[in-house]
Structure 1
């Protein structure tokens, strides 16, 4: 291969050579916590940023460099075409791990895989949150099922003897921070990367004294921030599915250097908390409201959510039946309308979203909130109202308010377990707020259609017939 052929081959690999690059990241800058309202995210130009998209942490069956590039090109294209602008990726998955064989030795060839994915994200207008680590043992923790990843770190076994030593010793901390520094040299100045998560579900690491994990997080968060000063840093915990998890979330999410209050929660029939077997909208809304009470002045994001077999034994059997995306719809809408800084961010990107071709739901959410700025409106989420068999989620602003109305008689149990089709909700007149309505429009996310109220009657809204859910946009007196 001569020099010209080599250059052409290299350029053909990188998506930024296509000449059709989305310049959004360059134009708007880095993502930050909004200076106007710390409950939301914003770009450097202070315009609000609402991250819409699922976890796409790693390809579950593809390991080749070209295959990984094609995988993310396909997923990012589908996500972008449907209004998505965000994803999360594990840099500790074998597809991207820059330290695969020897502690302290970094593989630039594997790093170029990540370079290519970052370039693809810029091409499609997608911001990335990178998760730095996920291992739970030094050795002997293989993938739990096909398509998963191993949860061990054999190269570190020659440096530290135990997981306790990794989190307590200077050697262990230095291993972590040197790797972070290597990545910072490549991505700290790239606005496509919105943030860095220290560890996936760090409380799942089985230490005798879990206080070590909190101490480590408290020490490492500011040190990682030093390496990524223009990007957000945060920590994550396992599913909020038992009573003790709530107090654990309180300790971690209230750390001042933990910039985003993240929560994971799943529909799990083996979970201790009954809310984890409730309708998806209710379990998602409850997780957000719990974190909002813990961290009222931080962005709250339901950053992992989905449905699993009892006790996280694998993806839920419900997914095969949910070809309409009932679960996905509810986990997207309920968090945002409960005061989260984003819609819910689904797990199971391959087993559920891609397999059932549910990408359109991200576009429906984006359409439902289009033009609504929760920061400018000083929006406040109201407790769920229950009227006439309806659940009403409200984001009420100064002169514009959004309402997501969910049929309370239809949920995952009635549709996916009992096999009952949802019944249409009849048109009716309801009072949504106490202010005089000036204009009311309706968005049906299941039909992707807008309509307008013909007759306004003071504080009441005459909603049209719908199935499952309806979004109501009300422009009203201040």
Structure 2
């Protein structure tokens, strides 16, 4: 009997070890139980991490890999597991000399990035293309990247030509095939975006972009059967963009509905000048309506000078990361498959040393599985000048409370620091829990509370998370 017990323990331990080892070698998939979320080997996968799309102003291959090793390390140290990289950025561009001729140095760099992703446990979403003109579209500002592809100039006369002709489509698919041969069986690669903000390409007939996307989603998916394939649009900042997002999000083969949205004083939608939590949550809520059976990600979010003229000039003042905090928490708490994925990984996150926010987000949701909980987003009307976002589960509910009196305007424009809030309570209209606890993402501390119909909040600044356990 003792032998049998020991054997069973050993078998159980071995199976557990196999599962732990196998986990990084499994592909991320859409949850079989709830298609609004993602999973790996049947367990919830919440993609946490910013865009780290290119190494700005670096022209040496070794320096590129050192750059990503540092950024991946910072992210992993704080519990991050995801990023996005542009394969068409100059240092990673494999078609440097002519179409179909693939540069071995760029290929080696991409191999190195995938290995670094595996080393740090970072899943990578690769964006395949981003150019908007064949020639004559240099980098819009220093340290950005050019938005043209002169290597195609001898084969393609215009962007309309690129999207319309079978010869040009095959150029794109040949490039896809190159990456498929190398990475289609590597689960470190999360998925593939057809094009960065494709509707920013100037063509006379916008339906040409839609028909190209519809065709390529299926053809590229055939090359990557175990990885996601998706498309992206420009910042969700105008009524026209609203209609485009409604159309593209609902495309059957667009596997993940994504939005780009920025705090932008030049945007025509007023929501884009609102507090970060409101503009971020609004984009996600709309996409959930447009594509109710898909995961939704706020896949680019941040703050810019009017009309995307450059990074937000007030970033240097946000040393505590109030903008980053809001763009992480708000999307997830209204039903996105993960937190918001920040742009300006270097101008903002790295310069202000804000990596710790990813750890605080992970701690706030630690142990909460929205799939097994059958979690439903709830939005309670503001109480005591507090905004209330929540995910109501069967055994556990998480609520994120945000001070309505503190935002980017008050803190960064008006130089009024967020005040300590004490003695406030909320009445969320939920069943009384057996256990009640609070997590302060600004101090990193948990405290216990007294369950009741009315919840008395501890002293906090900006925001606090409430955990109800039934």
Question: For the superposition of Structure 1 and Structure 2, which TM-score range results when normalised by the shorter chain?
Answer: over 0.9
Q: Do the aligned partners of 1:25 and 1:191 also contact (CA within 8 Å) in 2?
A: no
Query: Could you say which residue in structure 1 is the equivalent of 2:237?
Result: 241
**Counterpart Cα distance in 1 of 2:335 and 2:29:** 18
Match of residue 306, structure 2, among 288, 310, 325: 310
Query: Could you say which residue in structure 2 is the equivalent of 1:92?
Result: 88
TM-score, structure 2 normalization = 0.94
State the SS of the aligned residue for 2:139: coil
Shift of 1:391: 0.2
Moved over 6 A (4+): none
Alignment of 1:44-443 (within 5 A): 45-443=41-439
Shift of 1:406: 0.3
TM-score, structure 1 normalization = 0.93
Shift of 1:384: 4.5
Query: Could you say which residue in structure 2 is the equivalent of 1:7?
Result: none
Across the two proteins, how many residue pairs are aligned to each other? 451
Query: Could you say which residue in structure 2 is the equivalent of 1:462?
Result: 456
Query: Could you say which residue in structure 2 is the equivalent of 1:41?
Result: 38
**Counterpart Cα distance in 2 of 1:282 and 1:143:** 31
Which segments of 5 or more consecutive residues in structure 1 lack a partner in the other structure? Answer: 1-22
Q: Do the aligned partners of 1:221 and 1:257 also contact (CA within 8 Å) in 2?
A: yes
Shift of 1:27: 4.2
Q: Do the aligned partners of 2:83 and 2:125 also contact (CA within 8 Å) in 1?
A: yes
Shift of 1:427: 2.8
Classify 1:243/1:422 alpha carbon distance in 2 versus 1 (closer, same or farther; 3 Å). Answer: same
**Counterpart Cα distance in 1 of 2:201 and 2:380:** 36
**Counterpart Cα distance in 2 of 1:220 and 1:245:** 21
Q: Which moved more, 1:357-366 or 1:100-109?
A: 100-109
Query: Could you say which residue in structure 1 is the equivalent of 2:29?
Result: 32
Q: Do the aligned partners of 1:24 and 1:125 also contact (CA within 8 Å) in 2?
A: no
Classify 1:442/1:277 alpha carbon distance in 2 versus 1 (closer, same or farther; 3 Å). Answer: same
**Counterpart Cα distance in 2 of 1:389 and 1:426:** 12
**Counterpart Cα distance in 2 of 1:303 and 1:385:** 27
**Counterpart Cα distance in 2 of 1:427 and 1:149:** 50
State the SS of the aligned residue for 2:357: helix
Q: Do the aligned partners of 2:384 and 2:426 also contact (CA within 8 Å) in 1?
A: no
Query: Could you say which residue in structure 2 is the equivalent of 1:3?
Result: none
Classify 1:356/1:34 alpha carbon distance in 2 versus 1 (closer, same or farther; 3 Å). Answer: same
Shift of 1:160: 1.4
Shift of 1:34: 0.8
**Counterpart Cα distance in 1 of 2:21 and 2:137:** 40
> 2:466 aligned with 1:472, yes or no?
yes
RMSD of aligned Cα (Å):
1.1
Classify 1:24/1:160 alpha carbon distance in 2 versus 1 (closer, same or farther; 3 Å). Answer: farther
Shift of 1:425: 1.2
**Counterpart Cα distance in 2 of 1:60 and 1:251:** 33
Classify 1:183/1:28 alpha carbon distance in 2 versus 1 (closer, same or farther; 3 Å). Answer: closer
**Counterpart Cα distance in 2 of 1:215 and 1:158:** 25
